Structures are given as structure tokens and as C-alpha cells.
Structure 1
Amino acid sequence: MDMGEMGKNLAGRLWDWAGEGWTEAVLHVSATDRWRSFDAWTDAPDPEHPSSLMDRLHGIIPRDAPLAVYEVVLRADGTYRFASSSEVSTLSPARLVIDPAVRCPNHPVPGMPRPAAAEPTGQPTDPGVLREVGALVTEFADRYTAITGHAPEWEPGRTEEEIAAAEARIRARLPEDLRALYRLVGRDTPESGLLGYYAHDSLEELVERYCDGPPGSYGGVAEERPLDDADVVFDAAPPGRIKRLLRNDWWVTFGGNHSGEMIAVDLDPAEHGRHGQVLEVGDILGVPRYLAGSVTAMLTEIVTELRANRVTHQEGDPRLDVAAAFHQYPYREHRHILHGVADLNLAAIVTDLEQPDLVQAFYLNDGNHIDLAVLESLTSLREIGVHRTDTVTPTVSNLPELESLTMDAATVDLAPLTGHPTLWDLKLANLTHPVELDVLATLPRLTRLCIAGLDVPDIEDLGRLSALRVVTVDATQLDRLLSSGCPLPKLAAVRINGRVLLREAVEFRRNLTGTRVQLGETAGTLPAPAPDNERQDGR
């Protein structure tokens, strides 16, 4: 790919978009392994919105282009500078990932130890389990045939050798009842209802999904996000059965309902869970949803409902619609959002919550004076967000699970946060007074901090925050911090809010890491546009 030609094409599209009345226009494009994102601006008094540039950029950066950030700085005389770097993750805002192996709490990296119960043994499927599952599958098939007039069109069962080969690929032994199901039914192609709303896929699909990206992430509860934007991970219901993790190497997806929800066997359960329990996972859920203690339990529920004739079937539909209990297992509502808090009786609202122990995140918007002590009865809270508020007093000492706190307010008294044992994520915004870092130095788990745009007189004191790994600042703050010469915490990522040019971002990275940073640059001049009358005449 000709980088000079790509830069020229991008500059041309930027020129077409920029309109009139400007002297400088800038385009940023970030190309990652998952998406292309962009931002653009000019110094015109009334610039066009960047979204109108989207169609003009289509196809200019090919899919095989290096994963990097690209920048065009264009002058009104047609001269431009095109630059790229693979060592800056994004621009607008600039993200500098220094140690990509570092994760926020409960966001494990691949390579988790294999549980002992998942150790491959080379032994055939347990005969007792095979008989039990076989009896359930046979009874389902008989009742299915009686209701529909034909046998279920399942793919043939798989051999022990085929199952062992699949296990060798994923480096784990499947639960005995899932092995037994594969021995009897290779795949529920028509989605017969054998597992209710779900159907198991082939062994080949199981392996392909497990090996597609980090193990245990296919159809996962959430896409892994950058360090500066990673979410708090909430507890799944019922508590204590599923480990509180964004993903787990040992969640093995084996089917789904082809509507976005996948099912997985859990080979690494929490203290009160069970090896082989079945989870529903999918991006729309936020956390895994517990379905059943095992594949056998799911089969048993389905057959029990068939025996009681609690089933419906529509002519021509290959699936039996069975009202199994695991379909109704409740989702846990994690978040509670209140707008216009200044006009509400917040204490009464909190008191009247029907299931306060289920609330793990509370967001308060548009308030006057808020003392977070009003939330202290919600002992499961892990995240609090306060936005567009005059004054906040963060009395959270009686919230032992709190991990994330956002305070967007004119005035915040940080003293009540002193020594909080679990808070690892703190975002401060729009404060109208100086921010002292003394209190923050007492937070033993403070991993991520946002102070961009604030007055932080002693910003060099960030070096005292020993647990800090991710910081969001503005360019002026970062320049002051680096110029201070004071020791910095062992940062894994830095986010620079505001518009930062690529040369600046590269220089910041050089200063943070003390190493060379790749920056490719070319320059050029766009041909002068044709006079208006020639363009109108098509000449």
C-alpha cells in the first residue's frame, strides 16, 4: 500500500469536507483490529460536523492497512502533512497504552489456571451419566415424535475419539453430561427444544468459538474495553455461583438461541457454584445469567414439562415450546438512574426500593446538594455516578463494595473518601476549586483516575498514588507532570483529553517511556481546485 497516496487521498477528502472560511483543518483516523474511528475539525467559525465526512472516507484506508492512527493537517493553501504511528492507540482523545497486559480489576488476561476438574483424563464418558442422559434424550425423542408426527432431525452422535480430539483443542475435559449429549446427538440442527429455547452446536463450532480470540470470550458478557474505559464488573444472580469476571478462560460456549444469547458450561465456578453449570452469556446481558446446575438439569426440566403436557407446538415449527423453569430465571437489575434529583425526595426513593440488595449501580443527575450517605443502605453498590450537581459529599465509608465513583459537580469534599478500601476508579469533572491529592494517596486500590480539565496545583503528587495505573489528564497537565521531574507511578495507560496532534502524542509517549516511538510523516500539496465555472460546466 502506498502511504503517500493514502495521505493525498485523505487530504483531498478533508479539503472537500472543510467548506469555507478556514485556514487549517485536521483529520484523525484510528484503525484498530475491530473498527475504524475518526474525528475532524477546522478553525472556521461554523465548521461542518465530522459525521458528514464519513461517506467521503469510505474505502480510503483499506482493511489491510497497518493498525495505527493516521493524521492529516491541511492548510488552506493546499499544503498538508500526513503522519501515522502504531504506538499511539487512538487520537481525539489520545490514548497511550504503555503496558497492554495490565487489566482493571476482574478483567483477567488469557492464561487463567485450568481448574482441576477440567483436566483432560483420556477416559471415556462416565457410563452412569451416559445412561441417565440417554434415557432423557430418548424420552424427549419419543414424545417429540408423538407430538409432531416425525422424529427429531438431529445430527448423529459423535464418537469418544471425536470428543477427545475437541477437548485436546480447547485443553479441557467437558462435563460428563455434555460429553454424553454429544455422544447421542451431534448437533440439534433444527432447534427441536431439547434444551428449551436453546440448541447445542457441533463440536467443531464449539472448538472454533473457543479458539476465536481469547479463550472463553466468544459471545461473552462484554467486549474487552481499553484500560481507560473498562467497566466495573457486577455480580451475577444468584450470588456466589458465578465468578465475578468480565470473561473466564473456562466458560465454554456450546450453543445458543441464535438471537444473540449463547449458552456455556462453566468449568470454573464460584464458591457456591457447580462444575458444569450452564450460563447464558451475551453482550446485551452485561453479566452471565445462571440457567441451570448442569446440562442434565436442563434436560430433566424439559422432560418433566413434557410429562405434564406443558408444551405447545405450531404446525410446521420444528421446535417444541416447553415452559421450562430455567427460561424464567430472573435477570438481575444492576442499575438505578434518577434524573432531576434536585426535585426528588431521594431518601424516600431509596427507602422504597423493592429489592435494594440487587442494586449495584446508582446514577444521580441534576442535583443541588447531595450527600452520598443517603445511599448507604444499598450495601451491594459497586458504582455511583453523580452528574451536573452543585455540591457532593461522598460519604461512602459504609459502602464496602464500592469500586467506581464519578463526581461531576462544582464542589466536592474529598475528605470522606479517606482510606476507602475498595475504590479503584475515580472520575472528577467540572470542579470549580483546586483539587488536592492528599486524600487520594490514602486509597490503597486507586487504579484509575480522571482529573482532566481540573486545577491540580501539586500534580507531581500523582507519584504518591502507588496503585495508580491509568490516568486521564489534559495536555497541559501532562506537560506539567513530565516537566516536574518527579517519579511517576507505574502507569499502564494515559488518556489525554482534548484535541492533541499526533506529534504531541508521540512526544508524550517518548517522555513517559524513555524509548523511541515510531512516527512516519510525509508532506504534499493538493492540486489547485478548478474554477467554479469549470466545475459547474463539468470541464
Structure 2
Amino acid sequence: MVERVARRIAEEIVASAPEGWTRAVLASTAGRGGVSVSGDYTVPGAPGRHNLVPSPFGELTTLAEAVREIRGWASSSLEIACRPSGEYELVAFSDIITSLRGRGGGFQAVLDPGYRLPQPGVEQGEDTAAPAGDPEQAVARFRAYMERRAAILGRPEQLPPPASAAALDEAERRVGRPLPADLRALYAIADGDGLGIEHRYLLGGNAWLSLKHLVSVHADQRERPWYGWELAWDSVVFDADPSDTVRRCGGHPAWLPFASGEDGNYLAVDLAPARNGRPGQVIRIGRDYDEGPAYVADSITSLLGHHVDLLEQGAYETDDDYLSLLEPARGFGPRRIIGEIPATIPPDLQAIHINDAVGPVDLAPLTAAPNLRLLRLNRCATADLAPVRALPVESLHVTLDGGDLTPLEGHRDLTALDLGTTAPIDLAPLRTVPNLRGLDLSRADVRDLTVLADLRDLRYVALTARQWTVLLDEGKAPLTLAAARLADDDAPLDEALTWAARLGLNTADAFRTTGTLGTDGG
């Protein structure tokens, strides 16, 4: 089966080839989670990105299923290489080695599948304030809210029966903590706002979840989603506004989603706030908040008061028998600038992407941004990292045109560094960066790569094949690595398997098959 499907894919690649091609490579990760496809034809004198290979998703799914029957891999990394002569080769391995063609280039190898990078919010100070919510006031505001809605709509809105005390107790047992008193009091009025599949969307356009649904969503949202090392190694969780009210986490067991926008986003009560927050405060989490949660209100009680105020202000609209609140415009996500350094730096700036600047970029103006967490220079360079010394930058993507890494000595916040250079550079200052966990040196000319062996908490490294060879030949690959990247975009999967084996992965059961089109052999 594998040979037959691989042959069909090779036939499609060859049949779609452009004039003058000399080689084609299709790379795919395929399995129960879906299929990705990348790759191109090599055409001398023509840029590869304009000569993309076909994307036979169905046949690649069939191929992955056939490989799974042989090897047992739930998902496979597949590479099919073809030549005009009709010769083709399939190489397949478990997706612990993944092609990054078109997404940074090269291959990624996962050495410790169970490791996850720590979230900065885990170390944040805890609050000492009492909850701001009040169950009696919350009930009074909810009833006033429903009465005002009924007056606007010309009829009362039907809600489900209340949740029983036993159901509330069971929900609290399953989520592992008590509900805020004001939220519990609302569930004693109604078990959400849904009747069957119909919701009233009472909470600012969000469907109020039943207790059963709250428990189910909490189980899914209690941890930060893991999208793999490709995205995670240099990612940042930003601070909410007001600062230090919500932990800088992508997910937390003490966040209880109680309302849904039905778009992957939720309102949640936060039972473990940061030092400036209040237990039971309302936050936004979910699909659009991977970079950090958003603060909404200090309690359910305050949220309901806000909803009543909007009705009194006439900030609503009706459509048939539905009423929608018109919320004031809110900022979305962290304060971010893309393009160039502005003349006036917003003090709440947390991320800046400087693009295509002419000449070395002077980073000194950024010292006016005391909350800057992410700094990226794209297709431009700087000669001096001194301004970064005093900033809480955690993710730094930079090209150095002269200068050195001395300003980063002892930098306690830096966790990820993507470094390019125009001249050889000394990595020794990185020995004193205590929380550095991710490092991409594939764009850098490094004097002594063996310094990496001294970085005791390094979990991810990206290097070119030449750099990896130097490091591995010296026996100085960091022992703490959980993932690594071979950065050469044109490296074949076979080369990546050899590299991964030198890092300690067992690649002996890689699957290979070859054939020549136009013959009966496979």
C-alpha cells in the first residue's frame, strides 16, 4: 500500500512539473491531526517559491495511515523527492522530527516530548485583597438587569431552572475550588441562559454557560494550549491592563470559564489573581488570548452593574427578540507597534516590531517603555544593545551590525534570543543570563559554539548544519535540550534523521522506499 500511494503522489508531482526542473521535494506532516504540505521544484534560474509542488491531501492521508499500520506512528513526517528521470524516493519518520519548509526552514526535532516552557505568571506575586463581589448585590443587579431588558423587549426572557445546591457542590468538586460567592448566587437563580441550543447571550453578547458546560470547558482551558516548539520557543505572555492584575499565563487551573462568545473565547472568573487583582475578578481568555488574558472587571457583581449602566445609557440595540449591549471600544491584546520607533513612546508599550529600517537602529528611545517584553528587528540591524539592559525584554530578535552581547550580561528577563550578526561574535556574556531557554544562532557568525554547553537551562537551540557539526564533533551539545532545529531550508529528511540521531534520538526505524516511474518496479 505505501509503495503504491507513494508512486501515485510521485506521478502527480512529475506530471505537474514546470519546464526545466531538475528536482522536486514534497514535505508533509500527516496523521489524525490533519495534513500539511510544502515543497517546490528546483528550476535553475527561477525562484523556488513560484514553483510549488501539488498538494495531494487525500493521498497523503492515505499514505500516513499506511505508514501507521507498519510503524505505529499516529502522525508521520513524510518527504517525497522526484527527478525528471522518473526516480523518486519516500522517507518517513515519526513527527517528532518535522519539516519547517516555508516556516523558517529546515527541521525541528523534539527530544523531550513532555517538557513545556514555564509560564511567567507562575512566579508572580499573589494578591492579598478580599473578593470584590457581593452575592446579595449581584442578585439585586441581575434582577434589575433582567427587568430592564424585559421592559425594552416588551416581555420577560425565559431562563432555565436554578441549579441545585447539590449540583453546585458537585461542580465545585470537579473544578477543584469553590465558585465566587456572587457567581454561585447567580446559578441559584438560573443554570445559565440557554434553553436547549438557544441562548439569551446575557453577559455582554456572551452565552452564560450551564454548570455542566462550565466544568467541561474548564477541563479544556485549564492549561495553556501547546502549539509546538516552532511557535512556543520565543513566544511571550503579555501583561493585562491594569498591570499585575492577572497572572501572565496562557491558561490556569484557577480560571473558571462561565460565559462563551461561541468563537473559542470566554469570560472567566479568576481565583488566583496577581498582586493587584481581586479573587473572583472577570477576565477574557481563549482562542484570541494566547498572548495573555484581558482584564474585564473586579467581580461578577461589577460586571452586572456595568450591564445595567449600559441599558440606562441606551447603549444597546435590538434585533427581533434579542437585545445586544453596545460595549465601548476596547483595546485588543498588548500595546504593540509594528513598523518603526515612534517619536513618542507609549509607556504601556509591550511589543515592537521594527521593520526595514535604514542604517543601524538606535534603540535608546525604547528605554521610555518600562514594560517592553518583545523586541524584534526585521530586515534591519542595530550596533548597540545597551538600551536593552534596563528593559524587561523576554524575547529578542535582533541583528548586530558591530557591537557585542556584553549589555545582556546578567539580564534576568531574557528567555529567548534570535541573533544575527555581520561579524564574528563572542557568546560568553550569555553564560550569565540566568533564564535563557531558547537560542537561534542560525544567522550568526559565532567564534566559539562550545559556550552553549555552559548554558545550563537551555531548552531549544537552532543552528545551521555546519554549526551543528562543529558543536556535535566537539561533544558540546547542551544536555538540557528539549527541542532543536536544523535551520538549513534545503536539508533533506535523511540528513535531518542523521542529525537527530547524533542528538540522541533513535531514528533506526525510518521508513524508506524508492522507485522509478515508467517501470513496474516500486
**TM-score interval, smaller chain:** 0.7 to 0.9
Shift of 1:152: 0.7
The answer as to whether partners of 1:265 and 1:276 remain within 8 angstroms in 2 is: yes
Aligned residues: 494
Partner of 1:76: 84
Shift of 1:225: 5.4
Change beyond 3 A, Cα 1:201–1:418: same
Shift of 1:482: 0.8
The residue matched to 1:374 in structure 2 has which SS?
helix
Written as runs of structure 1 = structure 2, the 5 A alignment for 1:74-473 is 74-86=82-94, 88-91=96-99, 92=101, 93-106=106-119, 131-189=136-194, 192=200, 194-212=202-220, 215-217=222-224, 226=230, 229-258=233-262, 261-285=265-289, 286-306=291-311, 308=312, 310-314=314-318, 316-321=320-325, 327=328, 330-331=331-332, 333-339=334-340, 349-350=342-343, 352-353=344-345, 356-365=346-355, 366-389=357-380, 391-396=382-387, 398-429=389-420, 431-473=421-463
The residue matched to 1:471 in structure 2 has which SS?
strand
Shift of 1:138: 2.7
The residue type equivalent to 2:336 in the other structure is R
Shift of 1:76: 2.6
The residue matched to 1:27 in structure 2 has which SS?
strand
Distance 1:216 1:181 in 2: 26
User: CA RMSD for the aligned pairs?
Assistant: 3.3
Change beyond 3 A, Cα 1:432–1:48: closer
The residue matched to 2:509 in structure 1 has which SS?
coil
Distance 2:61 2:181 in 1: 49
Give aligned-pair identity as a percent. Answer: 29
The residue matched to 1:186 in structure 2 has which SS?
coil
Written as runs of structure 1 = structure 2, the 5 A alignment for 1:499-518 is 499-513=490-504, 515=506, 517-518=508-509
Structure 2 gap ranges (5+) = 69-73
* 1:516-537 Cα shifts (integer Å, max 9, x gaps): 55311222333369xxxxxxxx
Change beyond 3 A, Cα 1:40–1:528: farther
The residue matched to 1:376 in structure 2 has which SS?
helix
The residue type equivalent to 1:60 in the other structure is L
Distance 1:134 1:95 in 2: 53
Distance 2:91 2:283 in 1: 46
The residue matched to 2:383 in structure 1 has which SS?
strand
Shift of 1:229: 4.1
Written as runs of structure 1 = structure 2, the 5 A alignment for 1:518-529 is 518-527=509-518
The answer as to whether partners of 1:188 and 1:201 remain within 8 angstroms in 2 is: yes
TM-score (norm 2): 0.84
Partner of 2:71: none
Change beyond 3 A, Cα 1:369–1:312: closer
Indicate the larger mover: 417-426 or 513-522.
Answer: 513-522
Structure 1 gap ranges (5+) = 118-127, 340-345, 530-539
TM-score (norm 1): 0.81
The answer as to whether partners of 2:162 and 2:188 remain within 8 angstroms in 1 is: yes
